[in-house]
Amino acid sequence: MGRALIIGAGGVASVVVHKCCQNSEVFEEICIASRTKEKCDALKEKLEGGKTKISTAYVDADNTEMLIELINSFKPDIVINVALPYQDLTIMDACLATGVDYVDTANYEPLDTAKFEYKWQWAYREKYEKAGITALLGSGFDPGVTGVFCAYAMKHYFDEIHYIDILDANAGDHGYPFATNFNPEINIREITAKGSYIENGKWVETEPLEFKQVYDFPEIGPKDIYLLHHEELESLALNIKGVKKIRFWMTFSEKYINHLTVLENVGMTSIEPIEYEGKQIVPLQFLKAVLPDPASLGPRTKGKTNIGCIMQGVKDGKPLTYYVYNVCDHEECYKEVGSQAISYTTGVPAMIGAMMVMTGKWKKPGVNNIEEFDPDPFMEALNKWGLPWKESFSPTLLEE
Ligand code: NDP
């Protein structure tokens, strides 16, 4: 069917590449481009020989001109951005200049402010509409599948959804005292920032990790969950009819929290540059360099993830409760694509999102969040491509 340019060659990109190669009817040709070309070449070497034709390229995705040149020479139908959130705008600019559709998995974040907001990317709406190209924002798991879950619930079960709790549990064990499951810099910035949720259309801010509960997850068991700010709250509060309150929760073990507290107390999680031996360094970036590479956790991680949404609302005037979730096994993912479940649960939806746009099912000029599209073909594809979902109409609810 067509060609995709995949930008980035990290944990998530590796899964996207594997999945595009499995789906060679849609992805006839891919180009893997990143700033460390060796990583792109290693992926090509691993996957070459199938039906999907693979090429690689060096690109600095902070440089719009270089991106434009690459897009003009490869001529993709879509750009899949699985580099870092800092590159979203330069890549969106390049897509705009070349008239190519765009998909990502995380919203833009300026390097010097840990602030997840859609305003920078939503500012491209009119330009994308005029150019007749589609941007699909947040096609990972959360954001991503969680938005599709909400859209699906809205379409099939509810007249209005009043309360949404998004629950992200990782019961995987990699055997290290401390490591993050995806890019440590992004992960730690997210967790050490203030928490927040939306109530009656307004953000309510909390101290970092201020709210904690225990939730008994299907197939995983009881886990400590903490309220975090998360980017999809912003778009879901606008796009899902009737939402009064929406929160995001993530599991962390006591061991993880203890390590993080110490690192924070000694200043290692700071994003303020400091001078060290005549050089400016950012403590968090230095910490990233000494922590295990998330891509190396694959062979060591055992256990499962469970990510989903619990919704409460009304149908025909009657109250209704609905829980939809996916359970993913780290070891199974590793067997299939050589990555742990965190990369897997992000990479599979990124491939599916790109497929939705490429096949025309989700073609909508403008800049769109994932829940703005018809959820049905995506839900079907999740079952087919490795992230089957389950539903319950009588889940245990969280505390208020
Ligand atoms: P990694 O750090 O493993 O990979 C990032 C890749 O981007 C690396 O290959 C890196 O290159 C490359 N890169 C960084 N800067 C540039 C640049 N300027 N030019 C070209 N390439 C660049 O991260 P992950 O794979 O874990 O995460 C990828 C994305 O997925 C992130 O945006 C993350 O926030 C998002 N994500 C989304 C989730 C969701 O559910 N929605 C969940 C998890 C992640 P190099 O190899 O040289 O470092």
CA 12 to centroid of ligand 1, rounded, Å? 7
Find where tokens 């700071």 sit: 270
| Closest alpha carbon to 162 in 106, 96, 246, 232 | 246
Distance from the alpha carbon of residue 399 to the mean position of ligand 1, in angstroms: 35
**Confidence at residue 81, expressed as pLDDT on a 0 to 100 scale:** 98
Tell me whether residue 51 is in a domain.
Answer: no
- Nearest-CA residue for ligand 1 atom 42 is 346
d(CA 110, CA 271): 11
What's the rounded Cα separation, in Å, for the pair 150 and 387?
16
Instruction: Return the ligand 1 atom nearest residue 84 CA.
Output: 32
> Is residue 100 one of the residues assigned to a domain?
no
Query: Is omega for the bond preceding 143 within 30 degrees of 0, making it cis?
Result: yes
Residue 159 near residue 314, CB atoms below 8 Å:
yes
With contact defined as beta carbons under 8 Å apart, do 43 and 88 qualify?
A: no
Can you give the length of the chain in residues? 400
Give the pLDDT of residue 114: 64
Ligand 1 centre and the CA of 269: distance in Å? 19
Q: CA angle at residue 266 from 293 to 248, to 5 degrees?
A: 60
Q: Among residues 250, 228, 236, 220, which one has the least CA distance to residue 164?
A: 236
Q: Which atom of ligand 1 is nearest to the CA of 59?
A: 20
Which of 82, 88, 167, 185 for a ligand 1 pocket mutation test, highest count of atoms within 8 Å of Cβ?
82
CA of 206 to the centre of ligand 1 (A): 28
Instruction: Calculate how far, in angstroms, residue 85's C-alpha sits from the geometric centre of ligand 1.
Output: 8
266: its two tokens: 């000694």
Question: Rounded to the nearest 5°, which phi and psi values hold at 139?
Answer: -105, 55
CATH number of the domain residue 242 falls in:
3.30.360.10
Nearest CA to ligand 1 atom 23: 183
How far is 169 from 305, CA to CA, in rounded Å?
5
List the structure tokens of 364: 């909508």
Gap between the Cα atoms of 165 and 157, Å rounded: 17
CA 34-39-40 angle, 5° bins: 60
Choose one of 5, 15, 34 to mutate for the ligand 1 pocket test, by most ligand atoms within 8 angstroms of C-beta: 34
Give distance in angstroms: CA of 81 to centre of ligand 1. Answer: 9
Ligand 1 pocket test: which of 6, 15, 35 has the largest number of ligand atoms within 8 Å of its C-beta? Answer: 35
Residue ranges lining ligand 1, Cβ < 6 Å: 8-13, 34-36, 39, 59-62, 82-85, 87, 105-106, 140-144, 182-183, 186, 294-295, 346
Nearest CA to ligand 1 atom 8: 10
Scan for tokens 């049905």, then name that residue: 376
Using CA positions, which residue lies closest to atom 45 of ligand 1?
A: 36
pLDDT score, position 88: 98
Domain that holds residue 215: 145-338
Name 206's bridge partners: 195
Q: Residue 143 gets which letter from DSSP?
A: T
Would residue 36 count as lying in a domain? no
**Does a structural domain hold residue 66?**
no
DSSP, res 105: S
Is 23 within a domain? no
Measure the CA–CA gap between 247 and 251, rounded to whole angstroms. 14
From the list 305, 30, 313, the residue with the least C-alpha distance to 161 is 313
Q: What is the Cα–Cα distance from 48 to 45, expressed in whole angstroms?
A: 6
Burial class (CB in 10 A: 0-12, 13-18, 19+), 399: exposed
**Minimum CA distance residue for ligand 1 atom 26:** 182
Compute the distance between CA of residue 66 and CA of residue 62 in angstroms, rounded to an integer: 9
Total domains present in the chain: 1
Give the contacts of 342 (CB within 8 A, at least 6 positions apart): 11, 170, 172, 181, 182, 294, 305
Domain membership flag for residue 255: yes
Structure tokens at 245: 């309150």
Cβ neighbour number for residue 274 with a 10 Å cutoff: 12
User: Would you write out the chain's pLDDT as a tens digit for each of its 400 residues?
Assistant: 999 999 999 999 999 999 999 999 999 999 999 999 999 999 999 999 999 999 999 999 999 999 999 999 999 999 999 999 999 999 999 999 999 999 999 999 888 776 778 999 999 999 999 999 999 999 999 999 999 999 999 999 999 999 999 999 999 999 999 998 878 888 888 888 899 999 999 999 999 999 999 999 999 999 999 999 999 999 999 999 899 999 999 999 999 999 999 999 999 999 899 999 999 999 999 999 999 988 788 899 999 999 999 999 999 999 999 999 999 999 999 999 999 999 999 999 999 999 999 999 999 999 999 999 999 999 999 999 999 999 999 999 998 8
DSSP H or E stretch at residue 204? strand 202-206
**Cα distance between residue 185 and residue 294, in whole Å:** 11
For residue 176, being part of any structural domain is answered with yes
- State the closest ligand 1 atom to the C-alpha of 87, by its place in the atom list counted from 1: 18
6 alpha carbon to ligand 1 midpoint, in Å? 11
User: 47 vs 11, 17, 21, 134, 340, CA distance in Å?
Assistant: 15, 8, 7, 29, 18
How far is it between the farthest Cα atoms of the chain? 67
> What spacing in Å lies between the alpha carbon of 9 and ligand 1's midpoint?
7
Burial class (CB in 10 A: 0-12, 13-18, 19+), 276: exposed
Q: Are 312 and 163 in contact (CB under 8 A)?
A: yes
Residue at 79 is within a domain: no
